[in-house]
Amino acid sequence: MTDILVYVPDSGKHAAEVLTLARSLGDVSAIAFDDAAASLASEYGAAKVYRVNAAGIDDYFVAPKATVLTDLARQVSPSVFLLPSTDEGKALAARVAVVLDNGLLTDVTGLETDGTARQDIFAGAIIAKSKLAKGFTLATVATGATAAAPAPAEAPVETVEATVSEDDQRVKVAESIDEPAGDRPGLAEADVVVSGGRGVGSADDFALIERVADALGGAVGASRAATDAGYYPHKFQVGQTGTTVSPQLYLAAGISGAIQHRAGMQTSRVIVAVNKDADAPIFGMADFGVVGDLFQVLPQAAEEIEKRK
Amino acid sequence: MNIVVLVKQVPDSGLARQLDAQLRVDRNGANNVMGELDEYAVEAALQLKEAHGGEVTILTLGPDQATETIRKTLAMGADKALHISDESVAGSDALATSKILAAALGRFEWDLVIAGAESTDSGMGIMPHLLAARTGVAAATGARKIDVDGTAVNVEHQRDNGYDVLTTQLPAIVSVWDTINTPRYPSLKGIMAAKRKPIETLTVGDLGIDAAEVGAAAAATEVLEAADRPPRSAGQIVTDEGEGGRALAEFLAAEKFV
Ligand SMILES: Cc1cc2nc3c(=O)[nH]c(=O)nc-3n(C[C@H](O)[C@H](O)[C@H](O)COP(=O)(O)OP(=O)(O)OC[C@H]3O[C@@H](n4cnc5c(N)ncnc54)[C@H](O)[C@@H]3O)c2cc1C
Ligand SMILES: Nc1ncnc2c1ncn2[C@@H]1O[C@H](COP(=O)(O)O)[C@@H](O)[C@H]1O
């Protein structure tokens, strides 16, 4: 008996979290389009893996995958179907919802066996409980909703052969450019994120943020003011229109704490801020804060951390 | 090239936002503004119009006061607007909203629909794909750059770790992030001209949709309860008088990060 369907896009932390949450609700059938995703599903306790083979599917944007997921959902008729809340996961869920005429909950931060979901709304200012009144529970799961916990199993694999219809070939992925990842941990996956804002003042001075990040073994992040000013590349932006992070430690230096920034980091376990303005909103959410000039505070902190290592 | 921009009026995210007694977004406050990313969608449309000619039409589903937001888009340079305003829509979920917007899009000829990547209030980021699924039109979303060349559309789809170049043909639906441009401010001349630009207002019934198919009663989503997030327990804030960095390192060590 299988009743929780999960789309596993890759072998990343977010996918592992969704599998962990799904497992707490029932028997999980995972849908994987490659071997790395399939083995993650086994490692995180899936009872079954649908391994989809569809030649050329990655050459087209979203539509063909949505067709495969819709067909599988129809066939399995799950009680719950979860996807990660990423741009792709949401796009797929939206298309499944329309075709199956089903409701959809996005960005859930928790889910109970009776289908009650938790959602953080207005950038996390309000926590709501919601539910789908009809259909099955179709939801996308926010990053950081659960801590990923492995539960290795030898899940039986069923191969699904699929073809890409002409209709689903209208948006081609002509090119896929990956910017070099560098030596630091990935922003979305890191346990420690050290971010700099407009207060850092220049691209050169981001070296100070990098020094603190390296001392703590963390990733570097930035506010939009810092990425807009060209201090640091856009892909490191944390927030509503950047990456959402949920690390064990988030250190914000020279960041005021605008709502769009908070939206992307407020579920961090421990938040630390350095800002010369005692009234900066970031202090309202900080577990520890230093009111002071980051050019005084951070070098001293880095030295102390390096000494203690 | 005729472009439709989807614009939603939302409560200002910089001010306190609330749910009303029915646990819906409170839209009656005076602090309503254009969706943050929708401004970038309007700008993208105006730039494409400047390059290729054609008309920019704004499509908004929302209460009467959404006219203020529509006026702003007309002042920025959009040519005309279609405003779907109907009491029966209150409490609709995203699926019903997409049904209405899809019906509205069926009323005229267009080549390109541009939306924000996500709205500021619900932040679902799904409307373009809901519409693509309903209308059968191609969707290339999450753009940091859009080029139209004849009937070909090229979109740089932004990812966390790079980007994909998506190519499709008109007609198409695209959505944009804030990396795509810098929205213009309405000029005084634009504000004056906006007063004479046409805004057509329709109800759901005008679109041939039965009021029973939309609104709270038809919604698949049900909000059961809502509460303010419990404040994080007050942290320890110290003022640097020469030892702030060491105090910070001390704290991180006590929390086992060092
Ligand atoms: C559609 C939209 C999307 C957005 N998305 C995002 C997003 O994803 N992420 C994001 O971050 N923002 C986003 N924003 C922008 C957001 O509104 C803020 O403008 C931005 O977060 C501010 O960045 P900041 O805190 O670095 O700059 P500021 O608000 O200018 O703050 C700088 C801070 O540095 C402090 N400071 C200055 N010098 C020093 C010093 N020497 N030592 C210590 N402290 C110092 C100052 O006291 C101040 O508090 C978005 C905005 C819009 C409209
Ligand atoms: N009621 C609406 N009226 C017009 N456009 C909308 C409406 N709701 C959503 N949109 C468009 O769809 C985008 C994504 O919205 P959402 O899926 O709600 O996050 C928004 O940025 C708008 O461009």
pLDDT tens sequence across A21-60: 999 999 999 999 999 999 999 999 999 999 999 999 999 9
Question: Mean pLDDT, to the nearest integer, of A248-267?
Answer: 95
Ligand 2 pocket residue status of B125, Cβ below 6 Å: yes
- Domain with residue A87: its CATH number is 3.40.50.620
Domain for residue B34, yes or no?
Answer: yes
What separation in Å is there between the alpha carbon of A196 and the centre of ligand 1? 9
CATH of the domain at A273: 3.40.50.1220
Is residue B40's pLDDT more than 90?
yes
Which residue's alpha carbon is at the smallest distance from atom 23 of ligand 1?
Answer: A225
Q: Is B219 on the interface with A (CB under 8 A)?
A: yes
Distance between CA atoms of residues A102 and B51, nearest Å? 40
Residue A175 lies in a domain: no
- Mean residue pLDDT of chain A comes to 96
Q: Which of residues 93-112 of B touch A (CB under 8 A)?
A: 93-95, 98
Write out chain A residues lying below 8 Å of B94, CB-based.
104
* Contact flag B129-A120 (C-beta cutoff 8 Å): no
Report the domain count for chain A.
Answer: 2
* Inside any domain, residue A181: no
Q: What residue owns the CA closest to ligand 1's atom 51?
A: A260
Mutate-to-test residue for ligand 1 from A241, A265, A272, A300, highest number of ligand atoms within 8 A of CB? A241
Flag if A278 and B237 touch (Cβ within 8 Å). Answer: yes
CA A209 – CA A205 distance, rounded (Å) = 8
Residue B45 falls inside a structural domain: yes
pLDDT band at A2 (very low <50, low <70, confident <90, very high): low
> Could you give phi then psi for residue B190, rounded to 5 degrees?
-60, -40
Mean pLDDT to the nearest integer, B229-237? 87
Give the domain extent around B71: 2-227
| Residue B140 located in a structural domain | yes
Region B171-185 average pLDDT: 98
Percentage of chain B exceeding pLDDT 70 = 100
Spatial separation of the C-alpha atoms in residues B155 and B138, rounded to whole Å? 12
Query: Tell me: the pLDDT tens digits for A259-294?
Result: 999 999 998 999 999 999 999 999 999 999 999 999
Q: How confident is the model at residue B33 (pLDDT cuts 50, 70, 90)?
A: very high
Instruction: Specify if A228 maps to a domain.
Output: yes
A91 lies in some domain: yes
Residues A68 and A159 grouped into a single domain:
yes
Residue A97 in domain: yes
Query: Which domain, by its residues, includes A208?
Result: 192-308
The sheet with strand A105-111 has its strands ordered as A157-161, A48-53, A28-32, A4-8, A80-84, A137-141, A105-111, A117-121, A126-132, B221-228
Asked if residue B240 belongs to a domain, the reply is: no
Number of domains into which chain B is organized: 1
Q: Is the CB of A197 under 6 A from ligand 1?
A: yes
Atom of ligand 1 nearest to the CA of A239: 8
ipTM of the complex: 0.95
How close does chain B come to A269, measured CA to CA in Å? 10
- Write out pLDDT tens, residues B53-75: 999 999 999 999 999 999 999 99
Candidates A236, A288, A295, A298: best to mutate against B (most CBs of B within 10 A) is A288
- Tell me which of A169, A202, A224 is where a domain ends: A169
Q: Which pLDDT value is given to residue A1? A: 44
Cβ within 8 Å, pair A287-B236: yes
B135 in Cβ contact with B102 (< 8 Å): yes
- Measured in angstroms, the CA of A156 and the nearest CA of chain B are apart by 32
| pLDDT value, residue B27 | 86
Q: How confident is the model at residue B237 (pLDDT cuts 50, 70, 90)?
A: very high
Ligand showing the shortest atom-to-Cα distance for residue A197: 1
Interface probe for B, chosen from A241, A275, A294, A308 (most Cβ of B below 10 Å), is: A241
pTM (2 d.p.): 0.96
- B17: CB partners within 8 A, 6+ apart: A122, A125, B11, B25, B26, B121
The answer as to whether A53 is a domain residue is yes
Q: What CATH number is given to the structural domain containing B134?
A: 3.40.50.620
Q: Is the four-CA dihedral B245, B250, B256, B258 of positive or negative sign? A: positive
Q: Specify if B19 maps to a domain.
A: yes
Same-domain status, A10 and A147: yes
Alpha-carbon span B189 to A170, nearest angstrom: 41
- What confidence score (pLDDT) does residue B30 get? 64
Share of chain A above pLDDT 90, in %: 93
Examine residue A223 and state whether it is found in any structural domain, yes or no.
Answer: yes
For residue A187, being part of any structural domain is answered with no
